[in-house]
């Protein structure tokens, strides 16, 4: 267990994300998980995704996971551990590239996200996945991307899909309600007028026609405050949409996402994700045709 003890020091002292994530990826090789790397989904922009599957996947739920990094940094390869962790729970996990600011603004990385989701639906069966049981999931900035795809119809609309084509949305300390913007880098990403900035907020697009949502949030998060998830949950409920909010005592912004992998065994975060995916997978075909809201009130 010494490796677990030294990881915080690596994070603080190395100053190199590749070193840190290399250490995380080395902690627990994926048993009974098959990796299919470097699948191109946008040849023009040179964007690919990695797929992680259970060894004998057959009509498994599919989760497209968007990593965090303030919309400016990150690599899909760093999140091999996430793909393996999700696949170990019986899911086909897809982790895509997306372009970063300042090279692109919000429309750039959201178009990339939509393209990745369409590719996932079109190719799910090739990896033992079920395209009718398709989820989007993300942490922090990646949670924002997933939430925008699940709420603002225009983005999936560009690839001939709609939010209701998703079986569910899973936000891990996602950014949903973060106005006003005053830092120049965020103004450059999301616009310099109130009207433009309003279009960057997932909470402004919840209108009662979204997929079910699971919102995961650490109570000690000082980067994306719990109030954002609480606001999102409240609006979902106001609109009669199925939603579950899980608040985790003692977890902050980074420790919450790493609780999904090999760094935390006591937290129930991955268990909660797996339970949500199983429940929504079981009801996705019914809700697609009837729009009936499954009961998420009971504990996950």
Domain membership flag for residue 300: no
| pLDDT at site 11 | 47
Residue 62's beta-bridge partner residues? 92, 134
Same domain assignment for residues 266 and 278: yes
What strand order describes the sheet that includes 213-218? 33-42, 47-54, 92-96, 60-66, 129-139, 168-172, 213-218, 243-248
Look at residue 20 in the predicted model and tell me its pLDDT: 62
Taking the chain (300 residues) in runs of 10, the rounded mean pLDDT of each run is 39 53 61 92 98 95 98 96 95 98 98 98 98 98 98 98 98 97 96 96 97 98 97 97 97 94 78 97 61 49
Give pLDDT, residue 22. 64
Are 128 and 275 members of one domain? yes
The reported pLDDT for the residue numbered 13 is 40
Give the count of domains, the chain: 2
Same domain, 5 and 130: no
Residue 128 in domain: yes
Q: 122 and 270 share a domain?
A: yes
Residues 72 and 99 in one domain: yes
Domain range enclosing 159: 32-290
Query: Is residue 297, in this structure, part of any structural domain at all?
Result: no
**Is 275 part of any domain?**
yes
Do 194 and 154 reside in the same domain of the chain? yes
Q: What is the pTM of this model?
A: 0.90
Flag whether 108 is in a domain: yes
d(CA 185, CA 240): 35
Asked if 275 and 147 sit in the same domain, the reply is yes
Distances (CA, A) of 87 to 8, 17, 178, 231, 248: 26, 24, 32, 31, 23
CATH number (domain holding residue 160)? 3.40.50.1820
The confidence score (pLDDT) of residue 283 equals 81
Same domain, 278 and 261: yes
Pairing of strands 129-139, 60-66: parallel
The answer on 120 and 185 residing in a single domain is: yes
Same domain, 21 and 37: no
In this prediction, residue 18 carries a pLDDT of 63
In this prediction, residue 95 carries a pLDDT of 98
3-class SS string, the chain: CHHHHHHHHHHHHCCCHHHHHHHHHHHCCCCCEEEEEEEEEECCCCEEEEEEEECCCCCEEEEEEECCCCCCCCCHHHHHHHHHHHHHCCCEEEEECCCCCCCCCHHHHHHHHHHHHHHHHHHHHHHCEEEEEEEEEEECHHHHHHHHHHHCHHHHHCCCCCHHHCCEEEEECCCCCCCCCCCHHHHHHHCCCHHHHHCCCHHHHCCCCCCCEEEEEECCCCCCCHHHHHHHHHHHHHCCCCEEEEEECCCCHHHHHHCCCCCCCCCCHHHHHHHHHHHHHHHHHHHHHHCCCCCCCCCC
pLDDT at 48: 98
In a domain, 91, yes or no: yes
Per-residue pLDDT at 262: 73
Domain check: are 10 and 125 in the same one? no
Query: 250 lies in a domain?
Result: yes
How far apart CA 163 and CA 180 sit, in angstroms, is: 26
Is residue 226 in some structural domain?
yes
How far is the CA of 22 from the CAs of 31, 47, 122, 180, in angstroms? 18, 21, 31, 36
Domain identity same for 24 and 41: no
């Amino acid at each position: 267990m010494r490796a677990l003890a030294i990881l915080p020091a690596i994070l603080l002292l190395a100053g190199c994300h590749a070193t840190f994530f290399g250490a995380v990826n080395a902690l627990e090789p994926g048993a009974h998980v098959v990796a299919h790397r470097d699948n191109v989904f946008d040849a023009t922009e040179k964007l690919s995704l990695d797929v992680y599957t259970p060894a004998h996947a057959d009509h498994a739920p599919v989760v497209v996971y968007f990593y965090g990094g303030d919309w400016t940094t990150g690599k899909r390869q760093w999140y091999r551990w996430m793909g393996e962790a999700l696949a170990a729970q019986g899911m086909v996990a897809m982790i895509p590239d997306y372009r970063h600011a300042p090279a692109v603004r919000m429309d750039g990385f959201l178009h990339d996200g939509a393209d990745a989701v369409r590719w996932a639906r079109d190719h799910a069966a090739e990896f033992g996945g079920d395209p009718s049981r398709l989820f989007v999931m993300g942490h922090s900035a990646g949670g924002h991307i997933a939430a925008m795809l699940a709420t603002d119809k225009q983005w999936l609309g560009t690839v001939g899909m709609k939010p209701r084509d998703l079986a569910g949305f899973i936000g891990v300390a996602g950014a949903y309600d973060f106005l006003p913007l005053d830092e120049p880098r965020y103004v450059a990403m999301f616009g310099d007028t109130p009207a433009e900035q309003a279009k960057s907020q997932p909470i402004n697009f919840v209108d009662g026609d979204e997929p079910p949502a699971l919102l995961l949030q650490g109570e000690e998060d000082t980067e994306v405050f719990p109030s954002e998830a609480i606001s999102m949950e409240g609006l979902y409920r106001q609109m009669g949409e199925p939603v579950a909010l899980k608040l985790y005592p003692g977890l902050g912004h980074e420790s919450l996402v790493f609780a999904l992998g090999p760094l935390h065994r006591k937290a129930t975060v991955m268990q909660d994700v797996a339970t949500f995916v199983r429940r929504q997978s079981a009801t996705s075909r019914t809700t697609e045709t009837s729009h009936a809201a499954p009961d998420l009130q009971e504990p996950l």
